[in-house]
Structure formats: structure tokens, C-alpha cells
Amino acid sequence: MNNADNTLIRAEGLSLHYGKKLALDRLNFSIPKGRVVGLLGHNGAGKTSLMKAMVGLHDHEGQLSVLGFEPQRDRVKLLREVTYIPDVAILPRWARVEQLIELMSGLHPKFSAERARTLLKRTSVKLTDKVKALSKGMVVQTHLALIAAVDAKLMILDEPTLGLDVLSRKAFYEMLIDEWCDGERSVLISTHQVEEIEGLLSDVMMLNEGKLVLNIPLDQIDDRFVALKHDPQAAEAIAAAHPILRYRQQGESAALFDGAPPAHVASLGQRMRPSLVDLFVALTRAPEINPQR
């Protein structure tokens, strides 16, 4: 799957410092084409730092190749092929949507004004609207339409749906799936709404305090992790088998294992599909409440 032709991003021993503070700690991963990769982590886990490094906005140590480019050195060339919405993205409030389209046409060689107008027809945004008259959800949709109209290979979205209501988030993701994901292009998206985007993702990467604690295709989660719903009476035997998390699910006791537990333990419970939220809680809690076993 990770042969050279299919790989869009490759990182080897990627670290990033802010002064003395280590923000990313020797990450190794690759992202092939045609994927929807979720980047999960608590605030301060390093998500934004990683995305900044990918678009050449921050220097790093170790190897990082994005579409074959070295992000900081080849930034101009790279940004023809990669689109990015940072977590602090804003559109100029005074501008009309049509003016933004003209602006993008002048700025980006691979931007299609016609495609941007087509994408905006999906929304309730009108070309004559001023940004300051749009709701927060409409601004984000406009932003997505503008960058999805760039014929790029990779989209990097840093918490794009933060602060949006549920309908706006749904509209955003619908446009993303429908207009961007074509099996060739990839998107890396960070969010805190883990439950909501679980079905959308092909892969998940989890950062905890700068370390990559999980990097796995969604359809392999079932093979590696085992969630067991069990009677409270079995709690002691289950705990003795060192689950990575014990929790309650719909009022019932449950435990999550990394790798199959011994057969005598597995027979104590009923196997469930491990949810991304439970994995997230198990793998990214603060170290003091999640002692290494």
C-alpha cells in the first residue's frame, strides 16, 4: 500500500521544537493517496504543529516529504498542490464572495473560478453576499468551496468545523466527501468531534503529547483492538488481563484490549466493535491517570 508512487506524505523521525519545548517527538508515518485521515489529539498534543510543518510554516528536524517536496525549501511549489485551512483562518469581512473568487483566480494558478461558483451553488451563499453578512457556517462553507476549487492533491484542514452547529458541520462534510474525495486526492483533518467523523475516515492518527500513539486504517481497528462488554462479576478477572481501558457502555461494564485477550478472558464477555472515542480516551489520557503497564 505504501509504495513510493502512492505516498503523498512521508515522515521519518520528524520532530519539532518551540524553543526548548518539544512539540513533536520523532514521528514516523506515511499518508498514501485517496485517504481521509483523521488527526486526533487533545489541545496541545501537536496537531497544529504537525500541519504547520507539512505546509512549510515551521522548521523541523528529521525527514519530511510532502508530495516529494521538502516543505520549507519548496514552499511555493508545494502550495500549488496542497491546500490548507489553518485553525485561525479568516476571510476578509469587507469582501463579497465574487471578489474572493477573483482574488483566488489571481493568486493561485490551479484555482478554477467556475468550479468555485459551482460548489457554492450547493450552499445558500450568494456570490453577491459580503463575508460579514454570512453566518459562521456559511463562511466555513465558502472557505471550503474556495479551496476545493483548487486542483490539488492534498487538503489539510485544521479543526475546520470548530464552533459550527450540527447542520453546518453536516453540510461541510457532505461537500468534502462529495466534491473532494475521489479516490486519488487525500485529506488530513483534525477535529475534536471524534464520534461524528469516525465513519468518514479511512485512517486515524492519534497524537499524545507530541508522540504518535496510534496510526491505523479504520478497517484494521477491529483486528487489533478488542472491546468486551461483560458482567460486573467478571470485572476482577478482566482487570487482571490488563485492558488499556475499562469503561461503561449503555450502563454495562466494558473493557478494551490492545491485541486479543487470553481465551478464558475473552469468553467472559461479549465482543463489540471498539469505538474511536474509547480508543481515543484509552490512548491519550494524561500520563498520571494512564500509567504505562
Partner 1 sequence: MPTWDDRQPIYRQLADRLAGALLDGDPLEGDPMPSVRSLAAQYMLNPLTVGRALQALTDDGLLDSRRGLGLFVRAGARDKLRALERQRFLEQEWPQLRQKLRRLGLQMDELQWEQA
Interactions with partner 1, residue window 191-210 (CB under 8 A): 196, 198-202
Binding mask 150-189 for partner 1 (x = CB under 8 A): ----------------x---x--xx--xx--x-x------
User: d(Cα 259, Cα 216) in Å, to the nearest integer?
Assistant: 14
Q: Which is nearer to partner 1, 249 or 267 (CB)?
A: 249
Please give the span between the terminal C-alpha atoms of the chain, in angstroms, as a whole number. Answer: 32
Residue 61 has φ and ψ, to the nearest 5°, of -110, 160
Closest distance of CB 260 from partner 1, Å: 17
Among candidate residues 38, 51, 25, 40, the one with its CA nearest the CA of residue 217:
38
- The residues facing 156 across adjacent strands are 84, 188
CB atoms within 10 A of CB 197: 20
CB atoms within 10 A of CB 205: 22
249 in contact with partner 1 (CB under 8 A): yes
User: d(Cα 90, Cα 88) in Å, to the nearest integer?
Assistant: 6
273 in contact with partner 1 (CB under 8 A): yes
Q: Which is nearer to partner 1, 166 or 260 (CB)?
A: 166
114 in contact with partner 1 (CB under 8 A): no
224 in contact with partner 1 (CB under 8 A): no
Closest distance of CB 90 from partner 1, Å: 27
Positions in the binding site for partner 1 (CB under 8 A): 36, 166, 170, 173-174, 177-178, 181, 183, 196, 198-202, 218-219, 222, 227, 249, 272-275
